[in-house]
Amino acid sequence: MAKTSHIAIVSSPGFSHLVPIIEFTKRLIKLHPNFHVTCIIPSLGPPPESSKSYLKTLPSNIDSIFLPPINKEQLPQGADPGLLIQLTVTLSLPSIHKVLKSLSSKAPLTALVVDVFAYQTLEFAKEFNALSYFYCPGSAMTLSLILHLPKLDEEVSGEYKDLKEPIKLPGCVPLLGVDLPAPTQNRSSGTYKSFLKRAKAFAKPIVDGIIINTFLEMESGAIRALQELGNGKIRLYPVGPITQKGSSNEADESDKCLRWLDKQPPCSVLYVSFGSGGTLSQDQTNELALGLELSCQRFLWVLRAPSNSSSAAYLETANEDPLHFLPSGFLERTKDKGLVVPSWAPQVQVLSHNSVGGFLSHCGWNSTLESVQEGVPLITWPLFAEQKMNAVLLVDGLKVALRPKFNDDGIVEKEEIAKVIKCLMEEEEGKGMRERMSNLKDSAANALKDGYSTQTLFQLANQWENLTEI
């Protein structure tokens, strides 16, 4: 009988970070059922219900441990979500070490796989004789930026957003400085210093490999360039697209959305959602509502209460009914064309529905991969984190998306919104994007069936299994 390989995973706080790394472990144990995985989860405050209910669905050979929550008073007020996540993990290091010590006393640890924000925990791998890996939940393009950032930091004076020439990362579509991740937009900030420190940790040869949630056909140039970086010293494992296939327990809202979609013509509905953390201002909410109305297209809109912070939903839960913030008479005027649902919709089921023909998205990587897997072209509306980079990849690189223009006040006006929606849903340009996205959907399915991603995961799992047998 084969010995059990014990893998320890360190997530970072937040549902959108927990899901990608857990979904990776689910795929791993599907291929190798004799692996046992323990996921260690740092927390800021009590664990969210979404995380707890999600973890209850896991197979018996994946355990999860929520660490004692960090006292919010130890964290700076009003800090960027990325910095809060990083500080939460840093303050949890003693707890992480304690759990790893307890696990290794029961059975040897084969490998330690950590989320990008948990890079400091890799120093524990050597102590417990475990192989060490980063799990990068984003694109190869984002990983390329992280690995090149220390050099960029030395070479560029002033702010990246003021650069006249685009930044050319190996194998990637050129990027303007304003489209670099939000933490890089103010180089004197604590958020940037934290991001740079994390990038420098990535650039050091301290890991046995980097596991990344993308696939060869989607980012072949970036993946090949990364594999050649440092004369092949970086072991890169593209294993994507890995996304959450399960539903949620919010059945009433789910049924309502899907019943409404059942009544719409094929490819006629634009799905509008800004992910689990994205919010718009009141002014922008008004313009989006009026733009949807002006486009005369069918739409399903997941609406959140407005906020002046684009990532407010990560940090707080508004109790107000989002529908109260819509322009007067909007719901009545659009009742035959659209459905507005508060806060949540069953995204995977929505995107896979044959009446959905487009996705207006914040371009978080989870949503991007879900859209690719269902073959739905996009309108990109990046809000924070690395979402602008994802938008550039989709629009300029893969040509499966449109990007609306913002005015000088940072608002996308209703006329511009209506124009890009019509272009995607009705015009030849949109039709071409739909065809390209359909091809990408096939490539994604092949990557997971018996293609490069599955071969890569087998290769990694076999290494771990062989170590256990030695």
- Give catalytic residues, as residue numbers: 17, 115
**How far apart are the C-alpha atoms of 396 and 393, rounded to whole Å?**
6
Both tokens of residue 449? 């069936």
Q: Which of 338, 221, 362 is nearest to 289 (CA)?
A: 338
CA separation for the pair 458, 461 (Å, rounded): 5
> Could you tell me if 42 and 12 are in contact, meaning their C-beta atoms sit under 8 angstroms apart?
yes
Q: Is the N-terminal amide bond of 241 cis, ω within 30° of 0?
A: yes
- Contact of 215 with 452, CB cutoff 8 Å: yes
Residues 299, 454: contact at Cβ < 8 Å?
no
**Strand, coil or helix: what is 307?**
coil
Residue 125, Cβ neighbours under 10 Å: how many?
Answer: 22
- Please state, in angstroms and rounded to a whole number, the distance separating the CA atoms of residues 368 and 138: 10
Burial 259-295 (b: 16+ CB within 10 A, else e): ebbeebeeebbbbbbbbbbbbbbeebbbbbbbbbbbb
DSSP for 373-416?
Answer: HHT--EEE---STTHHHHHHIIIIIS--EE-PPP-TTS---HHH
What is the Cβ-side half-sphere exposure of residue 30, based on CA atoms within 13 angstroms? 11
Q: Rounded distance, CA 314 to CA 16, Å?
A: 10
- Write out the E strands in 29-182: 35-41, 62-66, 109-115, 131-136
* Sign, Cα dihedral of 350, 354, 356, 359: positive
User: What's the CA gap between 322 and 341, in Å, rounded?
Assistant: 9
